[in-house]
Structure 1
């Protein structure tokens, strides 16, 4: 039994390290964002993070302090430019590139998300977006607009300065999330990042995309989500919200 726990902790930790492209012990925040809460439970039930970092012979992440001489926007811009220099790219780095390149990458992407947003900083610095999850997400925002229009809703696409994507019937705030299927050793799922526990919308419209087609669309009340991310399996507890467009009409 003990051997099984050790093996499980080791294997899941190594998998997260590979997923995040890091060579140190993942932090609790990184474990949570990777949607492996079971690993967090196993670690804290069996000695804690420091003990397991030593057992696995892994260094821990150094604490990064914010530069108090910089505004949040200046810190974001500096982080973006550092990633560009390290990776030798001229375009806007993706969230994953920022997180895996900088020691304070999660802090920088958090500031971006809670501030004016990813596209705002790309526009501010006159940087092209990569063909990535960002452009992928933008495409589905416009597809969602069309879907809502076809269902008789009045819709308005919001600017990059807004913390949500679409305003429906002049009052209901919608944030659009899109994910391809992720295949892992422990199963297959669609993963959606929220970035903040404080919701700025009334509903999330989550598109699960399989083989470049929408496998299912979920209309989830934001009050039902209480973490930084959520995962949806091929069969999921969130399936009760599949195609529940009437929820928006009732809002």
Structure 2
């Protein structure tokens, strides 16, 4: 199942960045630029989780956190430039579930959102992808291949999961880079080819599944019956 995220953040660049990653991860989300608008959205469209900046214009994040906690026990991840121990402690005392200090890696924020939702939202955990001889469990970052359990590095795991999640669809190298490494990636596009080679070496190619190269375009995952 998906989840609805409310982001309360006054920096347009940070809001846009978080929104890009939430969209890529398949979350529904809304963004508010100040505390009052955030509380209005919290009431009119109750979220499953709130990402809350502390240094907001007008009604600050501390006050917003108190108001949210007075209404519901929705999980809150505090996102702020204030990294002192006192501020972290105060945030947790107000009921925050996690705390991330700016500047931050948006991928880490997505990982923390998923971790909190798995603890707090029944049914959130994703079902493993299963084809004969292969199980891909992204929540546990484990692949079971022909009865043997493999632990793939994160990027290999995410790349395999993305390809296998839509069997038969061709992903270009640019699409794979954007979805797995992020739009800010400025490395060599052949990184994708190297990761695909390593995945193939580990899971092999069988009669029931394979990763195909589409020359000059990219890659697709094929499984029996798809």
TM class by shorter chain equals: under 0.3
Which of 1 and 2 has higher RCO (CA within 8 Å, sep 6+)? 2
- TM-score between the two structures when normalised by the length of structure 2: 0.25
Structure 1 length-normalised TM? 0.23
